[in-house]
Amino acid sequence: MQLTLTVPTVVDRLIQQALHQAMQPLFEPTFSDNSYGFRPGRNAQQAVAKAAQYIRGGKRWVIDMDLEKFFDRVNHDVLMARVARRVQDVNVLRLIRKFLQAGMMVNGVETPRYEGTPQGGPLSPLLSNILLTDLDRELEQRQLLFCRYADDCNIYVGSARAGQRIMESVKGFLANRLKLTVNEAKSAVARPSMRKFLGYSVTGKQPAKIRIATPSIQRLKESVRNLCIQGRGRSLPQTIEKLNPILRGWMNYFSLTQSRRPIEELDAWVRRRLRCLLWRQWKRPTTRESKMLALGLDAQRAWKSSVNGRGPWWNAGAKHMIAALPPKLFTQLGLVSLVATHQHLQRST
């Protein structure tokens, strides 16, 4: 889903931030306990933990709803009617509508905006919660168990039949009351293990375990791969210095995972990717031979390895490169270990 991002001017950002600070105390008490996005003291990990709690409690099916281009499709009149429930100042309401209707520059041409909230501004997350609180209250009135993070909403039920029935009913509510459309291609009633929620998934077997969704792992690998491509002209310590914040931030976010094996595999994969980078940097067999000799390999093994004719990725996982560049060497160079970071986070919680 492609979103339209905007970059407010300094003055616009300042005014939006002032509006946010004035409006949040008014609306925060009205928000649902099942809403976790863009709220003080709440985060994605809390939403995932609550979702796992529902699944362990016997709700073995999930209604995974994706709102089609939510931030680009918000109806201004519907949103402003909900803002006006708490904000009576006509000037403030007029100012908010002006922000909503501010034109966009596309290829140097100003395009008017008739729907949607401008992504990138301080006010948009609060406005999204104000609008979707109606959905929260509807689900609570039906006594449904759900977690919502911004426009990402999962409802947990006991059977596929109940899920399909509720899905159709909620789609009707969103269309009629909030003028929002559910993306049919990205929404489904399924087992939680077959879907992802905020980058996580939950295993189907009881007791249900929180794990990292496969696409989240693939995105990390893509980030590491791109950084290594950019790092072919850098030294290994320089590459590690740039890589560490990515690894540390990723593991901090996925600290809830209860599956150790994928983290161990990722740790090994990162080291192999760095060995692959070095093998490419060494380029010629004579350079590779001298480098491996310097790293402690015996002369015959270093020579044979340097002329084996295999590609960089194969060599990066081969015994000679693991012997020359063992895990402890990367630790000495300061590379963040996902396994060690996860263990530390688990002990501190």
pLDDT in tens, 15-54: 889 999 999 999 999 999 999 999 999 999 999 999 999 9
**173: CB partners within 8 A, 6+ apart:** 135, 138
pLDDT at 124 over 70: yes
Quick one: pLDDT at residue 6?
Answer: 55
pLDDT in tens, 272-310: 999 999 999 999 999 999 999 999 999 999 999 999 999
Q: For residue 2, what pLDDT band results from cuts at 50, 70 and 90?
A: very low
Give bridge partners of residue 61 from the DSSP assignment: 157
pLDDT at 119 over 90: no
Rg (CA), the chain: 25
Q: For residue 111, what pLDDT band results from cuts at 50, 70 and 90?
A: low
Average pLDDT on 90-106 reads 82
pLDDT at 8 over 80: no
Quick one: pLDDT at residue 1?
Answer: 38
Cα Dmax for the chain: 83
The answer to whether residues 104 and 4 touch, using CB atoms and an 8 Å cutoff, is yes
Query: What is the phi/psi pair of residue 64, to 5°?
Result: -95, 105
Q: For residue 11, what pLDDT band results from cuts at 50, 70 and 90?
A: confident
Long-range CB pairs of 248-252 (<8 Å, 24+ gap) are: 248/336, 248/341, 250/220, 250/338, 251/336, 251/338, 251/341, 251/342, 251/345, 252/341, 252/345
Quick one: pLDDT at residue 121?
Answer: 77
pLDDT at 215 over 90: yes
Predicted TM-score (pTM) of the model is 0.87
